[in-house]
Each structure stands twice: as structure tokens, then as C-alpha cells.
Amino acid sequence: MPVYQPDDILLDKFRIERLLGQGAIGEVYLATHIKLNGQRAVKVLRADTPGFSAPQRLQDARERFELEARLYEHFHGSDLVQVFDFEEDHGVLLLSMEYMPGGSLAARIEAADRDRTPMPVDEVVRIGGQIADALAALHQRDVIHRDLHPGNILFDRDGRARLADLGLAQVPGVFSQRYGVSSALLSVHPGHPNFRSPEHNIGSQALKPPSDIYMLGACLFLALTGRDYHNQRPGTRASSLRADTPAWLDDLLISMLAKDPEQRPWDGRSAAERLRQGRRHAAREQLQRERQQAAERQRRQTWWQQNAKWLAVGAAAALSLFGLMAVILLWASNSLQARSLQETQIVLAVQDTQAVQNAQPTPAPPQPQAASPTETPEMITATPSMGSTQVSPQDGMLMLYVPAGEFWMGSDKSVDPQANDDELPQHRVYLDAYWIDQTEVTNAMYARCVADGACTPPAETSSYSRDSYYGSSQFDQYPVIYVDWNQASAYCAWAGRRLPSEAEWEKAARGTDGRIYPWGKQAPNGQLLNFNGNEKDTTAVGQYPAGASPYGALDMAGNVWEWVADWYGDYPSGAVSNPTGPGSGEARVFRGGSWGDASYGIRAAYRVRSLPGYRNVNFGFRCAR
């Protein structure tokens, strides 16, 4: 029986409306915040709840509640359910959260099973993409959810899927040290038995992002087929249980549910991109089908229009000899008209040809020609200084000089409250002088490297919204995308340059005055950069001169993410000289945000990492020397 009833007052703050759900260790209620008159979902645990008589179990619950409330500070604005506060009073533990009026995915799956109407494939894919985005936010900060199942996927009033319940999350050491989370709590591998990954059961090893990807795959499999993957033979395809499963989604689920974590998408970001690619592919196929159907309808309509008079005459001819004579006369008349028209067209064609031959040619206006890289002189001063430039003879890239000196690398939370823990501590870095590309490498530049045999083509020739992108002259001056770290490194070597170190990239982006964005501390807007989905895709390089860095570098915020040379690792605590990151690692760093990222992700100090072989619709690069 629920502990609280409607109209009960909880902690002099919340008026209980009704019970939303009940578990083994507590309840979740819909409540009204009395002072704010707003709805909240309130999770309640009591010290006298059966099973919590043991002090250690109550302490574990307290830590989980507090951890969930504090974790939200790092994920504000993401696709996670917002947590407002954690309170404790007289043996009552209370977590107030954003109310999700759309219910849970578990409830939608139950309704579909009850009505014997499967959830639409498009809806399942949409939900999967939104939850993958939520996981991407967690994985970026080394947080593993560990308890993903349909009951923790909730829907807001707009129908958007949101991920809930971080109380059992695995967090990195910096969180546990800061918040005093016990190592015993973090070592536990929880998870719903029907959704947890195979590696949940392997000793006490820490889980990695692919574990969450497995659980998401199991949720989507159930939503699509109505069957628990846990109860199926390993490797079972969704298409064997639901015939209208698209082939791309069938393959993706097999990948997400692979027993070997290395065969799955690495993290939420890569899973989200795979889902988006599939949706774009399906949309293109649907558009092609609609065009073919429209063309077939037009062909049939044209045939009827062209032959209607003959059909009508033929029908009349069947009624009388007069009708037959009318058909003959009409045919003769049309034949004579056609012959006359053909002869007229021949005469006009001859006259047009003679006119062209006799006319004086009018020269076309000269078209601007791009300078050949081998013909472009290097514009370099004898003694480079701030503002000096030079042009690469290999690919024609304009390069900017960054003088030697120190700068502050990383973030100071007192200056930038949005700073992540991996941007800390802010520390002094000395760099020798170097040159850096003014813009990201373009499609046209990269194509030259491919033509020379030094580079391999991008993984895709499309972009987010364009079927033809790489290889289309219309987008020659747009940044190359779908290249991994190895391809970016190979290009820079071909061009006589290299990928910039993480420190070189950050100094070129923000200068020496500790600015948050390349242009300063002003909030980003559509005149400074391509971000936040404003343009819906990439833009040509160099289109935002107002957003230039102190050295004149363009597009260092937004447009596409940029690979840098370093392996990902923690920052040193003291000053360093010419750092190049760890000597080895699992993931490489990329910087700068993309056209789809909000202001949080386009800060100059913001760091993201990925496997070196990962390719993405938003990944590009620039070089240094």
C-alpha cells in the first residue's frame, strides 16, 4: 500500500496528487509544489521501508539519491529527465524531478501488445535516436547509466523521449572523490535482468559505453518486436519476428546486441549517428519511391490524354459507317498536319543553323579561376610575426602564424561555470611558434589528395541533408566530413603539415586572454558561427569573419568538429611546455563543436574524444606546421 495518499503534504512543500509508480524500495508520486504551483515527480524512500532496516542499505540509498541530484548539475539542457533537488527529513529521502506526462516506453510497449498493434518503426527509431543522444551526454563525461530499460525511458509533454534514473550510474573517480560516493556502491553492476549486457556479470570490472548501447538495443528490440531479446537465441534478427523491419535497422540491432562489446557502436554519439543515417537513407528511398509513383501516374495520364480522341473516335466508328469514315478523315488530316509541321521544323532548323554560322561570336564574360596550388607563391615575411600568413603550395590553404609564448589552457569554473571536469585544472602552457590553417580542409582540397593516391575517400559522399556533397562542385568549398583520425593525419602529411596538438588548437582558437569563445565572451549568435542547427547542415568555410579568433582563424567554433593529434588524457596540474598529450590511449581528441551543437559544446576549451577509426557526418579537421 502506498505510504502517502492524495492531498497529503510532504515536507511542508509538496501536495501529493497520485501515485505514479511503486517499486521494491519506494514510490514515485505526482505532486504539486505548493509555493511554485508546479507539478513534480517525487521519488520517496523511507527509513522504515521493508528491507531498509540495515543501516548500510539506507546509506546506499541516500548516496544514490544524492548522486542523482548532483549529477544533473553536469547535464543541464540534455535529454535526461531534470532533477531539481534532494532532501532528507526525519528518515524520509526525497528526490524531486521533472514530471513526464507522456508516460514510459514500458507503458507504450504494453499498450501495443494489448492492442495487438506494433509500434510504428519510425517511432521506435526516433525514440532510439533521442535516448542515444542522452547517452552521448553521459558518455562524454565517462558516466555509464548501467540500468537502461523501458521503464527509465519517459516522454515529456511534447512526446520527446528522455532518459531517467541516474541513481545507479557508474561515475568516474573525480565524481566519487568530490561527492564522497563509496567505492562499494560504484562497484555494483546493477541492471534489469532482461536488459543488462553480458559484461554486467563479469566480476567487478568497470563497464564502458558499449554496455549502455547493448541495453538500448534490447529496449529497441522489444519495442519493435514485442519480444524480450533476453529470451531469444543470441543473434536473432528483429526481421524474423517483424517482417517490415528495415534491413539497415535489422543490421544495426545485431551490432548493438553483439556479445563482443567491440562489435557494437562505441558510445551514444556513434549509435545516434547510425540511427540518423538510417532514417536519412529510409527517407531518401521513400522520396525515390514517391517520385517513381508520380512519374508513373503522369505517364498514364499523358497516355490517356494523347489517345482520348482516338478512343472516342473509335467508339463512334463502331456505331456507324459514318463513324468509320470520320476516323479515316481525321487520321488523314492529322497525318498531313504532322508532315507539314515536320517540314516546317526542318526549314526553321536550317535557317537557325545559317544564322549561327553568320553571326559574330560574342565572348562570354571571363570566369574567376582558382589559382593552382603549384602556381601560388608563398606569402611569408622574412621574420614572421602576429598577422603573418603564407599559402601552402600543396593545397592552396592560407596559413596563419601563431607566435611563441604562454597561454592559459583549460577552464576556470569561477569564470566559466559550464566547464567540464576534464577541462580542469586550468594550467599554463608554453608553445613554440607554429602555423595553423585558417579554415577547415575543404572537399576540393581533400579530393586532390585522393587523386594523388595519398588519401582514401570519405566514408560517405552525402552530408546531413544533402544526397550529394563530397564530389559535387557545388560544395567544393565546404569542409570535408566523414573522415577518421587516420585519414585526417594522412592528408596533413601529404600537404606537408600535421594535425595540431590539442594545445596548439586551443591557443589558436582562444588566444592568450582566456576567452571562452574564439571572438571573446559574447554569447554566440548566427552572425558569429554556424551552430545550434541554425543552418541545418555545414556551411562553406570562412563564412563567419566576425567569429574569427585572435589570430584570424575561422570556424574554430561550429560548422564541423576537428580532429587533433593527441590521445585523450587528464590535464597536468602544473605548467608545461609544448605538450602533446599521453603517449598512448584508446581515444583521440576532437575540438570546436559542429553546426548542430549548442553554445555549451562550441566553447574553445571544450573537449570531446572518440576512437581514431570513427567517422561522422560532423567530423572534419585542419592542419598545422
pLDDT, tens digit, 9 for 90 and up, residues 487-519? 999 999 999 999 999 999 999 999 999 999 999
Q: What number is the average pLDDT over the span 414-434?
A: 92
CA distance 549 to 437: 12
Decide which of 413 and 290 is more confident.
413
Q: Provide the grid cell at 569.
A: 588524457
Beta strands in 313-433 (DSSP E): 389-391, 398-402, 405-409, 427-431
The CA-atom distances, in angstroms, between 175 and each of 67, 137, 183, 514 are: 9, 16, 11, 26
Q: What is the pLDDT of residues 357-376, one digit of tens each?
A: 333 333 333 333 333 333 33
Query: What integer best gives the mean pLDDT of the chain?
Result: 82
> In the predicted model, is pLDDT for residue 413 greater than 60?
yes
Q: What is the pLDDT of residues 230-263, one digit of tens each?
A: 999 999 999 999 999 998 999 999 999 999 988 8
CA distance 201 to 204: 8
Q: Do the beta carbons of residue 79 and residue 162 sit within 8 Å?
A: yes
Q: What is the pLDDT of residues 604-619, one digit of tens each?
A: 999 988 878 878 888 9
Q: Provide the grid cell at 300.
A: 498514364
Q: Which of 91-100, 363-372, 524-533 has the highest mean pLDDT?
A: 524-533
Q: What is the pLDDT of residues 259-302, one digit of tens each?
A: 998 889 888 988 988 888 787 766 666 666 667 777 777 777 77
Decide which of 597 and 54 is more confident.
597
Q: At what angle do helices 209-225 and 268-317 cross, to 10 degrees?
A: 30
pTM summary value: 0.52
Alpha carbons within 13 angstroms on the beta-carbon side of residue 435 total: 19
* Superfamily name with CATH number, domain 105-315: Transferase(Phosphotransferase) domain 1 (1.10.510.10)
CA distance 220 to 218: 6
Amino acid at the residue 57: R
Which of the four pLDDT bands, split at 50, 70 and 90, describes residue 163?
very high
Give the per-residue pLDDT at 370.
Answer: 36
Among residues 95, 100, 102, the alpha carbon closest in space to that of 39 is found at 100
State the fold for domain 1-98.
Answer: Phosphorylase Kinase; domain 1 (3.30.200)
The secondary structure element, H or E, covering residue 210 is helix 209-225
Residue 590: phi and psi, rounded to 5, are -135, 155
Looking at the chain, how many residues does it have? 625
Q: Do the beta carbons of residue 505 and residue 564 sit within 8 Å?
A: yes
State the fold for domain 383-625.
Answer: paralog of FGE (formylglycine-generating enzyme) (3.90.1580)
Which of the four pLDDT bands, split at 50, 70 and 90, describes residue 426?
very high
Q: What is the pLDDT of residues 145-156, one digit of tens each?
A: 988 999 999 998
Give the per-residue pLDDT at 262.
Answer: 86
Q: At what angle do helices 247-256 and 209-225 cross, to 10 degrees?
A: 140
Q: Do the beta carbons of residue 242 and residue 113 sit within 8 Å?
A: no
Give the per-residue pLDDT at 369.
Answer: 36
Q: Do the beta carbons of residue 602 and residue 557 sit within 8 Å?
A: yes
Q: Which of 337-351, 491-505, 544-558, 591-605 has the lowest mean pLDDT?
A: 337-351
> In the predicted model, is pLDDT for residue 94 greater than 50?
yes
Which of the four pLDDT bands, split at 50, 70 and 90, describes residue 345?
very low
Domain definitions of the chain by residue range = 1-98, 105-315, 383-625
CA distance 293 to 288: 9
Give the per-residue pLDDT at 202.
Answer: 65
- Give one word for 622, left, alpha or beta, with left for phi > 0 and alpha for psi -120 to 50: beta
